[in-house]
Amino acid sequence: MTDRKVRVRFAPSPTGPLHIGGVRTALYNYLFARHHGGQLVLRIEDTDSSRFVPGAEDYIVESFRWLNIAFDEGVGIGGDHGPYRQSERRDIYKTYVRQLLDAGRAYYAFDTPEELARKREETPNFQYDATTRSQMRNSLTLPAEEVKRLIDSSTQYVVRFKIEPNEDVHVNDIIRGDVKINSSILDDKVLYKSADQLPTYHLANIVDDHLMEITHVIRGEEWLPSAPLHVLLYRALGWGDTMPQFAHLPLLLKPDGKGKLSKRDGDRLGFPVFPLEWHDPKSGEVSSGYREQGYFPEAVVNFLALLGWNPGTEQELFTLDELVQQFDLGKCSKAGAKFDYVKGTWFNHEYILMKDNSEIAPEFDRILKANGIDAPMERVEKVVSLMKNRVNFVHELWPLCRFFFVAPETYDEKTVKKRWKEDSAQTMQALRDLLAGLDDFSLENQEAAVMKWIEDNQLHTGNVMNAFRLTLVGEGIGPHMFDISAFLGKEETLRRMNRAIEKLK
């Protein structure tokens, strides 16, 4: 069925903020869809009413909006295959549960959670399957009238999938090749719960993917063990010939230690695990997000795209379009990737360098305003151009650039000790007078005049410049000296020099 138009989906559960691993899964779905000229669907899998978290769905939509990952159909967009919230598809699922029941491929089970728990305790490796279902309370063991009576008296039940044992089920995975599992190790999965009138993930997933005409299921590796069950379900529903192709992505692992990346790791190691900041409605707890930490969405996308995939070339920086063009599921790696968040900051650095200063200036301007600095955008942009190569994030500019806007109040002790010599006050006084006599205070003119003066007077360039820097900056940092003095202008430069000469004797 390779001639069908490519349609893929990302189907998160609204149980909290979207995990960065989920973002990567969505990104790969997006890249795959675009690469093949197909469509991407956003579906909300809210079949577990007990875990529903208000605000989570909006958070998901907003995250993708920020990341510039656009969906073609789904929640908040619409489309011909809706509704796109599983909780709004109850009647659809009921039809197919009925179909399975009528065909003898599924059965009612009345065992209570307590009974099951007890059973599991008594029997070491208990599994509800072909070998044990005959000992349980279900429509296979109970007389028909009793089953009818139980259902009519609205006793809670579940519908289980009847799995025939001893069959080798093959899953052909795009990333992993042929994966074979014997049906005997599968249990009779619950497909439907009467308590909330909803199917479980497994059934809803298959029904929706079929009805939404999904051609490729690209999801995390945690789903690989249940893929054979899904294959069996497609067949039982008579959809074997249009079953989507599977691709199970490697997981994102903790940067250190063991296990998959979790929210806790972010807190512990100090990096975001979520695209956007999240305020937990219940606990009030706040989790940091990439957006709020100052990452560019392009950098996050670029970074994530390369965690588990690469085109086989040495290119590392990609635009979204380039990713779309080059993306290939067959080039995904198979093993889990430790989440290298330090490299994520490097990507942001690269993007800050690539971006036009005029694009960064407004963001820096907001930070300046928050610190009480109101400067013309032209000057803000100038500072950005002078200083951006030394930061990973825009917000890191402020502590490094403060001196452009605020005269030093104090002079760094260590720098004074190292750079302010016996004769510095005298030299600075002479330099001050020289600068005061300059009509043209441009960088070029200052530099020419000062360098000539240094040479004529046989001064040491380093000594002069370092002391000069101390008077204007207050410490030993910053760009080329004349960039600073030219930016400050004659008046401010002389004022700062006078003050330093006075303060430092």
Whether the upstream peptide bond of residue 83 has omega within 30° of 0, thus cis, is yes
Residues 6+ apart with CB under 8 A from 411: 420, 470, 474, 475, 500, 503, 504
- Residues 193-212 interacting with RNA (rule: CB under 7 A): 193, 195, 198, 200-202
- From candidates 54, 122, 125, 144, binder to RNA by CB under 7 A: 125
Which tokens belong to 36? 């093949």
Q: Which stretch binds RNA (CB under 7 A): 210-218, 280-288, 329-337, 493-501?
A: 329-337
* Residue 221 C-beta: closest distance to RNA, Å: 6
Q: Which stretch binds RNA (CB under 7 A): 100-108, 111-119, 288-296, 424-432?
A: 111-119
- From candidates 179, 373, 434, 504, binder to RNA by CB under 7 A: 179
Nearest residue (CB) to RNA, 135 versus 461? 461
- From candidates 79, 82, 83, 476, binder to RNA by CB under 7 A: 476
- From candidates 57, 73, 111, 209, binder to RNA by CB under 7 A: 111
Q: Is 263 a catalytic residue?
A: yes
Query: 327 near 218, Cβ under 8 Å?
Result: no
Query: 401 near 479, Cβ under 8 Å?
Result: no
Nearest residue (CB) to RNA, 253 versus 501? 253
Nearest residue (CB) to RNA, 69 versus 253? 253
- Distance CA(276)–CA(279), nearest Å, equals 10
Please, which residues bridge with residue 177 across strands? Answer: 173
Parallel, antiparallel or unpaired: strands 39-42 and 73-74: parallel
Torsion over CA of 376, 381, 387 and 388, rounded to 10 degrees?
A: 140
Nearest residue (CB) to RNA, 215 versus 471? 471
- From candidates 128, 411, 441, 487, binder to RNA by CB under 7 A: 128
- From candidates 230, 469, 496, 500, binder to RNA by CB under 7 A: 469
* Residue 465 C-beta: closest distance to RNA, Å: 3
- Residues 27-56 interacting with RNA (rule: CB under 7 A): 45, 47-48, 51
Which tokens belong to 46? 């809210």
Please provide the DSSP assignment of 193-230 as one string.
ETTTTEE-HHHHHHHHHHHTT--EEEEEGGGGGGHHHH
Q: Which stretch binds RNA (CB under 7 A): 171-179, 239-247, 265-273, 487-495?
A: 171-179
Counting Cα atoms < 13 Å in the Cβ hemisphere of 399 gives 5
* Residue 374 C-beta: closest distance to RNA, Å: 25
- From candidates 9, 13, 32, 56, binder to RNA by CB under 7 A: 13
Using CB under 7 A as the binding rule, whether residue 354 contacts RNA is answered as: no
Nearest residue (CB) to RNA, 276 versus 472? 472
Taking each helix axis from N to C end, the angle separating 377-387 and 481-503, rounded to the nearest 10 degrees, works out to: 100
Nearest residue (CB) to RNA, 37 versus 330? 330
Using CB under 7 A as the binding rule, whether residue 87 contacts RNA is answered as: no
Binding marks (x or -) toward RNA, 213..252, rule CB under 7 A? --------xxxxxx-----------------------xx-
- Distance CA(160)–CA(363), nearest Å, equals 55
User: 3-state DSSP: the chain helix, strand, coil percent, rounded to 5?
Assistant: 50, 10, 40
Measured in degrees and rounded to the nearest 5, phi and psi for residue 256 equal -120, -175
Binding marks (x or -) toward RNA, 141..160, rule CB under 7 A? ---------------x-x--
- From candidates 28, 411, 482, 487, binder to RNA by CB under 7 A: 482
- From candidates 78, 259, 270, 281, binder to RNA by CB under 7 A: 259
Radius of gyration for the chain, computed over Cα atoms and rounded to the nearest angstrom: 32
Of 119, 260, 263, 338, the active-site residue reads 263
- Which amino acid makes up residue 202? H
Please provide the DSSP assignment of 6-61 as one string.
PEEEE---SSSSPPHHHHHHHHHHHHHHHHTT-EEEE-B----GGG--TTHHHHHH
CB atoms inside a 10 Å sphere around CB 294: 18
Using CB under 7 A as the binding rule, whether residue 85 contacts RNA is answered as: no
- Residues 288-317 interacting with RNA (rule: CB under 7 A): 306-308, 310, 312, 314, 316
* Residue 478 C-beta: closest distance to RNA, Å: 5
Binding footprint of RNA, residue count (CB under 7 A): 81
* Residue 76 C-beta: closest distance to RNA, Å: 18
- Distance CA(15)–CA(48), nearest Å, equals 9
* Residue 390 C-beta: closest distance to RNA, Å: 3
Nearest residue (CB) to RNA, 389 versus 429? 389
Place of tokens 């067959």: 330
- Distance CA(11)–CA(19), nearest Å, equals 13
Nearest residue (CB) to RNA, 4 versus 264? 264
- Residues 382-421 interacting with RNA (rule: CB under 7 A): 389-390
- Residues 433-462 interacting with RNA (rule: CB under 7 A): 461-462
- From candidates 333, 358, 426, 442, binder to RNA by CB under 7 A: 333
* Residue 288 C-beta: closest distance to RNA, Å: 20
- Distance CA(279)–CA(54), nearest Å, equals 11
Residues tagged active-site: 263
